[in-house]
């Protein structure tokens, strides 16, 4: 939490072509009394002795809560096999942070459409499957990001913290923010409960 007691919520999202939306999302959270952490919103402390990836991972580790937006564009900060945004989300999940995710409708649709081609009958990845970027979905790894947030590899009966809302417009995102974050005492209780695990 900040020195003045505000809950710090990290907002993780690909940025390119969504700058206005990120500004609006962070602005709403700020107006609600939270402190949004976002590199684009200029509210993420950075250490010049560390890489961009390291700084973002540290922010994900230190935040009180996490709000991840999965867009149909993977992001430009790809290091190795995954993007920085994807690594931020994986960090929040692995640390069992209080977390909320929202994914664009097209990702769920693409996931279902490509499943028959992307996987073999034994459910392993099909090595012959290749995806070419389109205007609707720039990288197949956005589906991996979605699968990570819904804890796809865990038996459904054992999944906890896998709720991922669906959105199509910025209005949908704003509605989710209002629904989930309007009660700061509720969020504080969730943070305390999850930190005690």
Residue 13: CB atoms within 10 Å: 22
> From residue 98, how far is each of 2, 57, 79, 118 by CA, in Å?
17, 16, 26, 31
Q: What is the pLDDT of residues 31-48, one digit of tens each?
A: 999 999 999 999 999 999
At residue 75, the pLDDT reads: 82
Nearest to 89 by CA among 133, 110, 59, 44: 59
Q: Rounded to an integer, what distance in angstroms lies between the CA atom of residue 75 and that of residue 147?
A: 17
At residue 196, the pLDDT reads: 86
At residue 123, the pLDDT reads: 86
Residues of the chain with pLDDT under 70: none
Structure-token pair, residue 8: 């710090």
Could you tell me how far CA 167 lies from the centroid of its own chain? 13
Nearest to 74 by CA among 54, 45, 103: 103
Residue 99 bridge partners (DSSP): 66
Residue 134: CB atoms within 10 Å: 10
């Amino acid at each position: 939490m900040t020195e003045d007691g505000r809950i710090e919520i990290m907002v993780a999202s690909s940025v390119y072509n969504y700058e206005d939306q990120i500004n609006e999302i962070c602005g709403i959270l700020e107006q609600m009394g939270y402190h949004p952490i976002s590199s684009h919103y200029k509210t993420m402390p950075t250490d010049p002795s560390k890489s961009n990836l390291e700084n973002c991972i540290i922010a994900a580790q230190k935040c009180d809560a996490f709000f991840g937006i999965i867009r149909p564009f993977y992001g430009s900060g790809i290091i190795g096999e995954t993007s920085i945004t994807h690594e931020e989300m994986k960090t929040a999940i692995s640390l069992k942070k209080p977390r909320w995710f929202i994914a664009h409708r097209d990702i769920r649709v693409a996931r279902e459409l490509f499943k028959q081609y992307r996987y073999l009958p034994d459910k392993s990845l099909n090595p012959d499957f290749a995806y070419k970027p389109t205007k609707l979905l720039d990288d197949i790894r956005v589906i991996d990001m979605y699968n990570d947030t819904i804890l796809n590899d865990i038996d459904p009966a054992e999944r906890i913290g896998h709720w991922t809302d669906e959105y199509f417009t910025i209005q949908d995102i704003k509605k989710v923010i209002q629904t989930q974050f309007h009660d700061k005492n509720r969020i504080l209780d969730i943070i305390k409960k999850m930190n005690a695990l």
